[in-house]
A = this chain, B = another copy of it.
Amino acid sequence: MIDKTVASFDEAVSDIVDGAFLHMGGFASPFNMPSYLIAALARSGARDLTMTTTSASTGPENAKRLASALADVVTWPQDYWEPGLLAQLGQIRKLITSFPTGTGNVVWPFEERLNAGEAEVEVTGQGSLAERIRAARAGIAAFYTPVGPGTVVAAGKEIRDFEGVPHVLEHALHADFALIRAWKADRYGNLVFRGPRTFNETMAGAARVTIAEVDEMVPLGDLAPDRIHTPGVYVQRVVVRPSTPPASWEEPC
């Protein structure tokens, strides 16, 4: 019998070792971030991680400020942790990302690491990042895109003209683990998302092991075949978020 459920977040990330390459989903909202997987990774202490993320993220302190600035509009979940926490804890060696730094005067934890020479970054546009991850899921080794020539992202890469337009050759990004957030799952690992699906959908299947953090596990057959966004063959582990949030990310879960 297929059952991809894993009992705890700590167990789900237990084989993510130092130096692992991770795809990390979620973006632009506390409601689509794989927060419990991030917290478990923080507790595990795995270091020297290489990670793809849309954004390096703002970090716990800035997130708190944003939450109170938006308090009249959105009720912020208290169990929100993002990749900035891992940067703050010094667990990230390298990010491949489209937003490495804060805007204006805001300085993010990863940016502090960068400035201190303790981390490195490969800046890439979001489109090529998405396509490179999708290429890994789909078995494409590399592709030519018109986005990038004439800018820093093309440095050292092959440029070739197609119909007179320069294109840059971009390579697939295949990770050891993909950590994503979904809404509902069944025991096959079939996933349904809610809201913009961001990299959460894109990254599923682009790693040796895809781990989905979900709000709810439903019986097999409850998810209609036309409604499933991610087929279970892309997912190796599913962990359900607790109904009662822990007091802090440090609490085993």
Contact = CB atoms under 8 A, between A and B. Distances in A.
Contacts of A144: 140-143
A82 interface: no
A221 interface: no
A26 to B, nearest CB: 17
Contacts of A131: 138, 140
A142 B143 contact: yes
Given A194-B226, A226-B193, A162 B141 contact: yes
A183 to B, nearest CB: 9
Contacts of A195: 226
Nearest to A172: B162
Interface in A168-213: 192-195
Interface in A136-166: 138-146, 162-163, 165
Contacts of A165: 141
A4 interface: no
